[in-house]
Amino acid sequence: MIKVGTIINTHGLKGECKIYLTTDDVKDRFRQGRILYLKDGKPLTVTGFRMQKGFGYAKFEEIKDIDEAQKYKTFDLFIRKEDLPSLEQGVYYYHELMDCQVIDEKGISAGCVVDILETGTHIVLRVQDEESSFLLPFVPAFISNVDKENRIIYFKDMEGLR
């Protein structure tokens, strides 16, 4: 399951929920009829969604009023991985890159991806082994191949990189 937001408050008397968003595709994740899940697996069906001042406001079929909505305050919302749309070749979801083994062109492991940083122009992977960590720009100059099936990222090691 992939986290797409957190219910941070109620809004109005009819059970609308104010949501802190952790997804970049709100139109798909919160479209009418979309089923989101709580951590315990309970489904919530989106019946309405709008954006206001950087927050999402969602109405769910299962939440009828403010008292019911109050019970879900601080709960995270998730989407199943299999419900995510397919991406074009060479584009990856963050969860597909996290925890991947990182191997250089000589076949030597450099560690695993432990964090993903957004820099504006591209993402940067934090790769860590038992002793140290380094930052690996996720660009073709450094990344030679991503094997999603085996969870391996192959990179071109250059002087000064680590």
Domains and CATH numbers, the chain: 2-82 (2.40.30.60), 94-155 (2.30.30.240)
What pLDDT score does 97 carry?
93
Predicted model pTM:
0.69
pLDDT, tens digit only, all 162 positions of the chain: 989 999 999 999 999 999 999 887 888 899 999 999 999 999 999 999 999 998 999 999 999 999 999 999 999 999 998 888 888 888 888 889 999 999 998 899 999 999 999 888 889 999 999 989 999 999 999 999 999 999 999 999 888 777
Nearest in space to 142 (alpha carbons), one of 126, 153, 128, 151 = 153
Q: List Cα–Cα distances, 62 to 47, 65, 68, 107, in angstroms.
A: 9, 9, 9, 52
Nearest in space to 68 (alpha carbons), one of 7, 5, 10 = 10
Taking a C-beta distance cutoff of 8 angstroms, is the pair 108, 117 a contact?
A: no
- List of residues 6+ apart from 64 with CB closer than 8 A: 14, 15
Nearest in space to 136 (alpha carbons), one of 119, 150, 147, 151 = 119
Distance between alpha carbon 2 and the CA centroid of its chain, in Å? 6
